[in-house]
């Protein structure tokens, strides 16, 4: 199967649309032209019929009867072809010839010819035989009298008259000639011209110049002189455009319309090709950018202009490229950080084992205990890495049920109180704002406990002896969209003129009872604030605390032992429960971590 490019498809689509439009226009114009020509030919036929009837009445008056026409078929043929004339009537004068005379350079009645006569044409009624032979308009002869427009066959009016005159002596009183009638009756035969379709009858309906067998069904038009019926004209039914000149005119116009349609299709193709090329140029650029991204070049960007679909696609592709570049950089940092984190305990473990092997250090219970402690730290690091990778992939199993998060938090606090007391760090829970309330949260109790323990362990590990950790509880209302903010609002803004939270007294617990998130009221959130004392975290390090393997290398890292994964795991668990977590400077001089979790509603 042939595969077409999008440019070729777009070109073919544009060309097809243009061709269909041109074809429809051609069909409509052809239909309109044919209908208009037939309608005009019908009117022309009626006018010619009236003109021939007028000539016959004049001839009847001049001959005092039909005897001359019945005896001499040439007079009948002359009247039909407008060559048998009676003297001109008063008030009839020469008029201008027709459009075809002017266009084709035929001489007019006054001897003028050529295009210079076109300005004298005022309408169809004044056209001479040059156009009248095609369109049936009246003509004026050299004497200025008006007569029926002559029909034209091949070779012009003279040859057509001569053609009719060949039947002058044959079949007296029979018109049209029998041979022409038989030819017209054959399948595909030539239809009868208007002159051959007329038959003359006397006042009693007896044929004068007629085919008796064709009279039934033929419409008849009475001829009257001074109100008295003197005869009839019978018209054999037939098409309105049988004359050669009219057929040639129709054919020439049809060919002209077809040529115009083909030219328009060609013009559409000439416009469609560069247009398709221009429209697909951004697509080719996007394709090149996608190939570079697939090959690992994440710095590739596509030029995006405009606000249409292609412009938005370009911006989306660039956003994807930026995300891939960031992920690649994070992956490289992740691998480097893991290698660095594993290298240190492994190096220590290797050094102690080699020292024992060389006899530098005795292989006693103390040495074995140190080796065991090193393997435990290495095991914890590997386990943390495994849990973090699982949370990053969303692969941790969560068994969510409706629970009270305060019960989980209080249980973890009771577990950590002895350890805080042993480290000389105070632990205080301010639950007065929620006293007597039971909360309901849809979550996994074990994972929430892991989240709380990581935060407690972080404060326990980095807070100086003699310091404290205060935990504040509050409720807030708002929409879930506000939870995704990277830097959520604090419960109380800094005082005027203050910088950060330096204006808040040391040791003051700040309840968040008045906190309201932006959004629709009625949606409940549990807000838990962990505020510990010194040492603090530099402001530039706060946005990175929840990154994997990130540790502040200042005073909070001197009690080494953490791998920098606890807060990253806490962030993933919070996100898995529809909440978020953020870090700020603590008014107690240390770190303030705010955790927000969505509630299902108050328990009964």
H/E/C letters for each residue in 435-498?
A: CCCCEEEEECHHHHHHHHHHHHHHHHHHCCCCCEEEEEEEEEECCHHHHHCCCCCCCCCCCCCC
Average pLDDT score over residue span 210-229: 89
Place of tokens 């305990």: 345
Q: What is the pLDDT of residue 459?
A: 92
Q: What is the pLDDT of residue 392?
A: 63
Q: Which CATH number does the domain 309-390 belong to among 3.30.210.10, 3.90.1210.10, 1.20.140.10, 1.10.287.130?
A: 1.10.287.130
> Angle 338-341-347 (CA atoms, 0-180°, nearest 5)?
125
Q: What is the pLDDT of residue 128?
A: 29
Q: pLDDT band at residue 298, thresholds of 50, 70 and 90? A: confident
pLDDT tens per residue across span 455-502: 999 999 889 999 999 999 999 876 443 333 334 444 433 333 332 333
pLDDT of 526 strictly over 90: yes
Question: With pLDDT > 90 as the criterion, what percentage of the chain qualifies?
Answer: 18
What is the Cα–Cα distance from 600 to 579, expressed in whole angstroms? 13
Out of 87-96, 197-206, 224-233, 537-546, which region has the weakest mean confidence (pLDDT)?
Answer: 87-96
Q: Is 87 left (phi over 0), alpha (psi -120 to 50) or beta?
A: beta
Where helices occur in 234-364 by DSSP H, the ranges are: 244-294, 309-358
Place of tokens 């054999």: 236
Within the chain, all domains assigned CATH 1.10.287.130 are found at 309-390
What is the Cα–Cα distance from 281 to 275, expressed in whole angstroms? 10
Closest CA to 77 of 162, 144, 136, 192: 162
Q: What are the C-alpha distances in Å from 27 to residues 24, 257, 266, 389?
A: 5, 9, 18, 69
* 3-state secondary structure at position 526: strand
Place of tokens 């074995």: 368
Q: What is the pLDDT of residue 86?
A: 42
Half-sphere exposure of 105 (CA within 13 A, CB side): 0
Across 118-127, 187-196, 204-213, 301-310, which has the greatest mean pLDDT? 204-213
Average pLDDT score over residue span 256-277: 84
CB 137 within 8 A of CB 146: no
Q: Which fold has domain 398-492+504-602?
A: Heat Shock Protein 90 (3.30.565)
pLDDT of 427 strictly over 80: yes
pTM for this prediction: 0.45
Within the chain, all domains assigned CATH 3.30.565.10 are found at 398-492+504-602
Out of 22-31, 290-299, 515-524, which region has the weakest mean confidence (pLDDT)?
Answer: 515-524
Across 184-198, 334-348, 440-454, which has the greatest mean pLDDT? 440-454
> Which structure tokens are listed for 246?
């009219």
Average pLDDT score over residue span 509-534: 62
pLDDT of 201 strictly over 50: yes
Provide the 8-state DSSP code for 119: G
> Which structure tokens are listed for 211?
């085919």
pLDDT tens per residue across span 88-115: 433 333 333 333 333 233 333 333 333 3
Q: pLDDT band at residue 275, thresholds of 50, 70 and 90? A: confident
* H/E segment holding residue 232: strand 228-235
Average pLDDT taken over every residue of the chain: 74
């Amino acid at each position: 199967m042939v595969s077409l490019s999008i440019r070729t498809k777009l070109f073919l689509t544009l060309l097809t649309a243009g061709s269909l439009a041109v074809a429809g226009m051609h069909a409509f114009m052809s239909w309109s032209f044919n209908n208009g020509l037939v309608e005009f030919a019908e009117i022309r036929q009626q006018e010619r019929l009236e003109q021939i009837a007028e000539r016959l009445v004049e001839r009847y008056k001049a001959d005092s009867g039909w005897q001359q026409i019945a005896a001499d078929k040439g007079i009948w043929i002359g009247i039909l072809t407008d060559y048998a004339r009676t003297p001109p009537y008063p008030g009839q004068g020469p008029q201008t010839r027709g459009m075809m005379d002017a266009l084709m350079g035929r001489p007019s009645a006054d001897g003028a010819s050529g295009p210079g006569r076109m300005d004298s044409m005022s309408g169809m009624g004044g056209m001479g035989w040059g156009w009248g032979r095609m369109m049936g308009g009246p003509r004026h002869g050299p004497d200025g009298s008006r007569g029926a427009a002559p029909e034209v066959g091949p070779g012009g009016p003279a040859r057509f008259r001569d053609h009719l005159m060949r039947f002058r002596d044959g079949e007296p009183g029979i018109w049209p000639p029998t041979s022409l009638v038989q030819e017209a009756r054959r399948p595909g035969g030539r239809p009868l011209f208007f002159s051959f379709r007329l038959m003359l009858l006397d006042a009693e309906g007896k044929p004068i110049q007629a085919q008796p067998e064709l009279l039934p069904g033929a419409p008849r038009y009475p001829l009257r002189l001074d109100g008295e019926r003197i005869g009839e004209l019978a018209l054999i039914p037939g098409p309105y455009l049988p004359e050669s000149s009219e057929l040639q005119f129709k054919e020439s116009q049809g060919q002209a319309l077809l040529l115009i349609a083909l030219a328009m299709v060609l013009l559409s193709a000439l416009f469609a090709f560069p247009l398709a090329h221009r429209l697909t140029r951004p697509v080719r650029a996007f394709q090149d950018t996608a190939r570079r991204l697939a090959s690992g070049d994440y710095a590739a960007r596509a030029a995006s202009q405009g606000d249409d679909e292609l412009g938005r696609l370009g911006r989306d592709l660039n956003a994807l490229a930026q995300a891939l570049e960031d992920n690649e950089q994070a992956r490289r940092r992740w691998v480097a950080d893991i290698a660095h984190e594993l290298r240190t305990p492994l190096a220590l473990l290797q050094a102690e084992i080699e020292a024992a092997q060389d006899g530098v250090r005795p292989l006693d219970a103390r040495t074995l205990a140190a080796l065991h402690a090193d393997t435990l730290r290495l095991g914890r690091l590997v386990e943390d890495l495994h849990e973090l990778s699982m949370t990053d992939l969303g692969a941790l199993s969560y068994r969510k049920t409706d629970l009270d998060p305060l019960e989980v938090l209080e249980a973890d606090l009771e577990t950590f109180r002895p350890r805080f007391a042993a480290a000389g760090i105070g632990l205080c829970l301010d639950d007065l704002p929620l006293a007597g309330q039971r909360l309901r949260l849809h979550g996994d109790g074990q994972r929430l406990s892991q989240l709380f323990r990581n935060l407690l362990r972080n404060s326990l590990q980095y807070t100086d002896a003699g310091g404290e950790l205060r935990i504040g509880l509050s409720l807030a209302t708002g929409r879930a969209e506000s939870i995704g903010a990277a830097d959520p609002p604090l419960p109380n803004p800094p005082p005027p003129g203050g910088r950060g939270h330096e204006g808040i007294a040391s040791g003051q617990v700040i309840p968040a009872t008045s906190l309201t998130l932006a959004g629709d009221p009625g949606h409940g959130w549990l807000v838990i604030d962990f505020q510990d004392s010194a040492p603090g975290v530099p402001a530039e390090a706060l946005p990175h605390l929840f990154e994997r393997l990130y540790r502040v290398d200042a005073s909070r890292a001197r009690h080494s032992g953490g791998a920098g994964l606890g807060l990253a795991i806490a962030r993933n668990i919070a996100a898995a429960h529809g909440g978020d977590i953020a870090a700020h400077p603590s008014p107690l001089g240390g770190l303030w971590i705010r955790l927000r979790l969505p509630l299902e509603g108050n328990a009964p």
